[in-house]
Structure 1
Amino acid sequence: MLTNKGTLIPIGGNEDKGIEDNEQYTLEFIDDGILFHVVREAGGTDANIVVIPTASSIPVEVGENYLEAFSTLGCKNVTVLDIRSKEDSEKQASINLIKAANCIMFSGGDQSKITNKIGGTEIHDIIKYRYKNEKGFVVAGTSAGAMMMSQEMIAGGSATESFIKGAVKMYKGLGLVPGLIIDTHFIKRGRFGRISEAVAQFPQLIGIGLAEDTGMIIKNKRCRVIGSGMVIIFDGRRLKHNRHKILTEGTPMSLTGMRTHILSNSDSFHIEKKKVKILPIEAPFI
């Protein structure tokens, strides 16, 4: 696996600010410092930050929320790029913003909207090139904006189904981190079965379940946990029983030999070595 010089920050979901349980009134994860990590990795408050609310059903309101959130942290150069079609992704103004950005921040919503409207376009190519080649370039995303970072992307699926084949729908993501499958809102929405089926389909990949208020800084093949919740790693490389390929849809499944790790703040996982490093109990949180 080639080393990418840039940084990815997938985040498990939004944090309610106590106004209303509605996407419009939510400022994601600013209280627990995750947004602060995004700004720091991008170079500080002078960084050029471009917010892309394409996944959202209310992109204008979500864009305004991000402007407020980044302003609270002292950021001076934040722009909302409201992409609603593939044509928007090919506009020169959009291309110029992506070329000049230190950080691209994708909002939550429907991850398929990101792949359908940005995947395969020039700005997609620019983001991939800059992430691969430019140290300090950051791509961050929450919820849908985190899930689309993988090559094999969870596009949907019922969390209430009891590990039934076909309960999870897969699609192609933007392919920034092809070795992982990322799921979000993991604990709150009970998505254990969903990511288990995804890993059963692609056992060579590592499943990552991100709780809300929780993210990872992915740099030099190493994922470091940030935030207040947990990250669950699903490693299916040594599955001893996996009949996903031969079962018909709607059939109950079983897996044996799935290896799991539960990580919290400042613990880390190496994508290539598939090894976990736990923060010593006496060490301070970062």
Structure 2
Amino acid sequence: MCPSPVPDGVDRGWIIPIGGGEEKESNPQILKRFVDLCGGDAADIVVLPTASRLVETGERYEALFSGLGAARVTTIDFDTRRDCNEPSRLERIAQASGIFMTGGNQLRLSTIVGGTPVAKLIRLRNAEGVHVAGTSAGASFISEHMIAFGEEGPTAVAGGVRLAPGLGLTNRFIIDQHFRERDRMGRLMTALAYNPFAVGLGLDEDTAAFIGPDNVLEVEGSGGITVLDASDISFTSMDVVDEGQPVSMLGLVLHQLVAGNTFHLSTRQASAGRLARQKR
């Protein structure tokens, strides 16, 4: 489950969680930047629609990425864990310059793909420089610790979230998506009370975190990213309250990022980025 080691002389590929509901028609800036990262008119993208039960999901992203100039786009679905051992599917993923996981239900990803040769190959290819993006459920699955489901609301509540193993491209953050639209602050705080090492990233719809090989997060899109840093928490009552009761968390740091802002996942430092220059 740990990220694959990066070979000498190679930069890890970008990791791009998207909060869902990304603009697909009038101004698809997030999807366009992903295509550009993957090579622009030479981009070779594999779409994994496993999280979705809708047949047309993969086909729609194929059309979108092709319309944005990608040279080759292929949908590869996995309905069973047995599918994840098929050599031809693994070979196609190994050829790609970008891998995109659609929305749906993240537990379909974790139960079908998790722990299989496909998951291992995606981690390996990302370490070798291939870019991996996921939207909604696909975003949640990216990290080692995945929010499987939980209660909506603004307050951390004991037992208010359930975690499951994710893909494991990184252990530096926990993702929650459709964040502002579905009032998910409480469940992300609860997840951090369980695991203060990680950074919580709450992604609004049509908003993405473009995370480079230097672990600097750049915001893209029309919404915001709520960053929760629990590394300096001085007290939490998670270990003494009963299930369903609110949890005290003292020392939690919150940043609200928008397009142009950055956050360094290693140093935990936020920056106004290009927005600071615009104010001069």
TM-score by length of 2: 0.91
Residue type at the aligned position of 1:41: L
Alpha carbons 2:153, 2:185 under 8 Å: kept: no
Task: Say if 1:281 and 1:252 are closer, same or farther in 2 by CA, change over 3 A.
Answer: closer
* Distance in 2, Cα, partners of 1:30 & 1:182: 27
User: Counterpart amino acid of 1:218?
Assistant: I
**Partner secondary structure for residue 157 of structure 2:** coil
Inter-partner Cα distance in structure 2 for 1:209 and 1:250: 22
Q: CA RMSD in A?
A: 1.9
Structure 2 gap ranges (5+): none
Is the CA contact (8 Å cut-off) linking 1:183 and 1:210 kept in structure 2? yes
Deviation at 1:50, TM superposition (A): 0.4
1:199 is aligned, of 188, 192, 200, to 192
Compared CA separation, residues 238 and 161, structure 1 to 2 (3 A): closer
| 1:274–1:162 distance in 2 versus 1, CA, 3 Å | closer
1:117 corresponds to which of 85, 92, 112: 112
Residue number among 240, 257, 271 corresponding to 1:246 in the alignment: 240
- Find the counterpart in structure 2 of residue 101 from structure 1: 96
Aligned to 1:20: none
User: 1:105-184, aligned counterparts within 5 Å?
Assistant: 105-132=100-127, 134-135=128-129, 137-160=130-153, 162-184=155-177
| 2:62 matched residue in structure 1 | 67
Residue 272 of structure 2 is aligned to residue 272 of structure 1: no
The Cα offsets for residues 170-196 of structure 1, whole Å up to 9 and x where unpaired, read as 111111111100111011011010100
Distance in 2 between residues matched to 1:217 and 1:163, nearest whole Å:
27
Match of 2:52 among 32, 50, 56: 56
Candidates 2, 8, 13, aligned match of 1:6: 13
Check if 1:40 corresponds to 2:47.
Answer: no
Q: Which secondary structure state, in structure 1, belongs to the residue aligned with residue 40 of structure 2?
A: coil
CA deviation digits over 1:194-228, x for unaligned, max 9? Answer: 10000111011110001111001111211111111
Aligned 8 A contact 2:42 2:71 in 1: yes
Contact 2:210/2:217 (8 A) holds in 1: yes
Cα separation, 1, equivalents of 2:274 and 2:167:
35
Q: Distance in 2 between matches of 1:121 and 1:281?
A: 42
Distance 1:234 1:200 in 2: 11
- Structure 1 residue 162 displacement after superposition: 4.4
* Partners of 1:30 and 1:69 within 8 A in 2: no
Contact residue 203 and residue 226 of structure 2 kept, 8 A = yes
Distance 2:85 2:162 in 1: 28
What pairs up with 1:200-239 in 2 under 5 angstroms? 200-219=193-212, 220-239=214-233
Mean alpha-carbon deviation: is it higher for 273-282 or for 81-90?
273-282
Query: What is the percent sequence identity of the aligned residues?
Result: 36
SS in 2 for 1:104: strand
Task: Number of aligned residue pairs: give it.
Answer: 270
1:88 is the counterpart of 2:79: no
- Cα 1:249–1:266 change in 2 (3 A) is same
What SS does the aligned partner of 2:41 have? coil
Q: Name the SS for the 1:45 alignment partner.
A: helix
Moved >4 Å (runs of 4+): 1-4
Could you give the per-residue CA deviations for residues 94-139 of structure 1, whole angstroms, max 9, x where no partner exists?
Answer: 111111011110000111111111111112111111211x23x110
The answer to whether the 8 Å contact 1:50/1:103 transfers is: yes
8 A Cα contact 1:6 1:131, kept in partner: yes
Mark the CA change 1:89 to 1:78 in structure 2 (over 3 Å): closer, same or farther: same
